[in-house]
Every structure is written in structure tokens, then in C-alpha cells.
Amino acid sequence: MSLFITFEGGEGSGKSTALRKISELLIEKGYETVLTREPGGTPISEEIREVILDKKNTDMDKRTEALLYAASRRQHLVQRVWPALKEGKIVLCDRYLDSSLAYQGGARGIGLEEVLNINLFATENTYPDLTLLFDIDPKLGLARIAANASREVNRLDLEKLSFHEGVRKTFLELAARYPERFVIIDASKSPEEVVADSMKVILARLEK
Ligand code: TMP
């Protein structure tokens, strides 16, 4: 049974680390997983990622930014996600369309509907089956990043606290708008608890 699961959340929510662990646990249970991320996951999409996140591109227009994320998403779907789903795999994707809605639509202020429209074009209306929202107070998330010297700091990490608060608020609005696919995970808990909570949700979905 194929399943498209996306992991969303603000900076320092721990979702990328949890995702790797969740993939291992699913493989142990005999599931075939594909672990991938946005922006990126294919050579073309990784090149687009470099342009978007380059700290020297401070003059990037917000609609250009939204279009680049959507372009990267499209290429990643075509080359990575759709083929894996066709083969019956579980795709675990670190960020997807909801990140564009929260960051570009909400926090940057372009508007949800406009960003949704370009993304529906890019994805041909491909929504995830399940979205885990790793919810955390941005003050805590940003403090975690600051304490983690090995993590690369990107252009969006450098935004003000109010930007990250806007991201969180929009993610929570999206969870309320799409209750059938969103589950909120309390990412302020310990890494072990976060993985356990996520696994419970995913297994319930797989065994449905
Ligand atoms: P990450 O790999 O640390 O999650 O970094 C990706 C950054 O890009 C992160 O700050 C969130 C941001 N982003 C958007 O603004 N819009 C998007 O559509 C996606 C996928 C990511």
C-alpha cells in the first residue's frame, strides 16, 4: 500500500531527525520507505534549493521565492514521489506544499489562496495522504538551532522571530483547515516521545 506522508514544522522542530528514525522503524516492520526532502531530493531540485537558500540572495522577490519552491516541488514529484508511490512505497517527505503555504503564503504575506493556486498547478492537485505537523514555539526551535553547531544556517533561518511566529500560526490554521490529513505532534517533547507519537499515528493509518 503506497502512502504519501509529509513532515512539516518550523525551524528546530526536530522533524528531520525524527523522520530518519521513523524510516528505520518502518523498514524494521517490513515496509518499503523512500526518505526525501524539499526543496531538493533530485539533482535539479537540489540546484534550485541552493539558489533559494543562498544567504547572498537577500534581494530575492517573495513571488520569485514561491515560484522556485513550486518548481523544485514539481520536479521532485515527477522524478521521485510519483514513481515511488506507483511502486507501492511509503514516501516520507521532509516538507511539502504546506511549507509554501505557511512560509510564503502566511509569513511572507503573499496570501494562502495565491500560493495554493501555483502549487495546485505544480502538483496537479497532489495532496499528501497524511501530514504530521511538528508544532513548537519558535523561541524554543530557534534556541535548539543556535545550540546545534553542525546545522547549516540558511537564508530563512535568519528571519526575525515574528516571521517564525507567522509560520507557526499559519501551520496551525492549515491543520484546522485540513483536519482529515493533518495530525499535530507536540515537538517540544523529547526526541523519543516525538518519534513514538509519530509512529502511533502512522501505524494507525497503515493498518486502517
Ligand atoms: P530545511 O531543509 O531546514 O527545512 O530548510 C528549508 C527552508 O526552506 C526552511 O526555512 C523552510 C523553507 N521553505 C519554504 O519557505 N517554503 C517551502 O515551500 C519549503 C519546502 C521550504
> How far apart are the C-alpha atoms of 65 and 53, rounded to whole Å?
10
Atom of ligand 1 nearest to the CA of 103: 15
How far is the centre of ligand 1, averaged over its atoms, from the C-alpha of 81 (Å)? Answer: 18
Q: State the pLDDT at residue 161.
A: 93
Pocket of ligand 1 from Cβ distances under 6 Å: 11, 38-39, 69, 95, 99-100, 103-104, 154, 156
* pLDDT of the residue at 15: 96
DSSP state of 136: -
Distance 99 CA to ligand 1 centre (A): 6
Contact status, residue 122 vs residue 71, Cβ threshold 8 Å: yes
Mean pLDDT per 10-residue section of the chain, whose length is 208 residues: 96 96 98 96 96 94 98 98 98 98 98 98 98 98 87 79 97 98 98 98 93
Question: For position 99, what pLDDT does the model report?
Answer: 98
- Residue written as cell 523512500? 34
Predicted confidence at residue 152, as pLDDT, reads 76
pLDDT score recorded for residue 82: 98
pTM for this one?
0.96
* 140 Cα to the center of ligand 1, angstroms: 18
What pLDDT does residue 155 have?
79
What would the grid cell of residue 19 be?
A: 523522520
- Candidate from 20, 53, 95, 150 with most ligand 1 atoms within 8 A of CB, to mutate: 95
pLDDT score of 34:
98
Strands (E) across the chain are located at 3-9, 33-37, 90-94, 130-135, 182-186
How far is residue 200's CA from residue 128's CA, in Å, rounded to a whole number?
Answer: 18
Spacing, Cα 161 to ligand 1 middle (Å): 16
pLDDT, position 158: 77
- Amino acid identity, position 182: F
Is the C-alpha dihedral spanning 142, 92, 181, 62 positive or negative?
positive
What is residue 156's predicted lDDT score, i.e. its pLDDT? 77
Is residue 39 packed enough to be buried (19+ CB in 10 Å), middle (13-18) or exposed (0-12)?
A: buried
State in Å: Cα 9 to ligand 1 middle.
9
| Interatomic CA distance for residues 208 and 193, integer angstroms | 23
pLDDT at res. 154: 81
What is d(CA 36, CA 84) in angstroms, rounded to the nearest whole number? 11
Please write the tens of the pLDDT for every residue from 150-176: 777 787 777 899 999 999 999 999 999
* Terminal Cα distance for the chain, rounded: 11
Cell of 120: 495546485
Q: What is the largest CA-CA distance in the chain?
A: 48
Phi-psi region of 95 (alpha: psi -120 to 50; beta: other; left: phi over 0): left
pLDDT of residue 42: 95
What is the model's pLDDT at position 71? 98
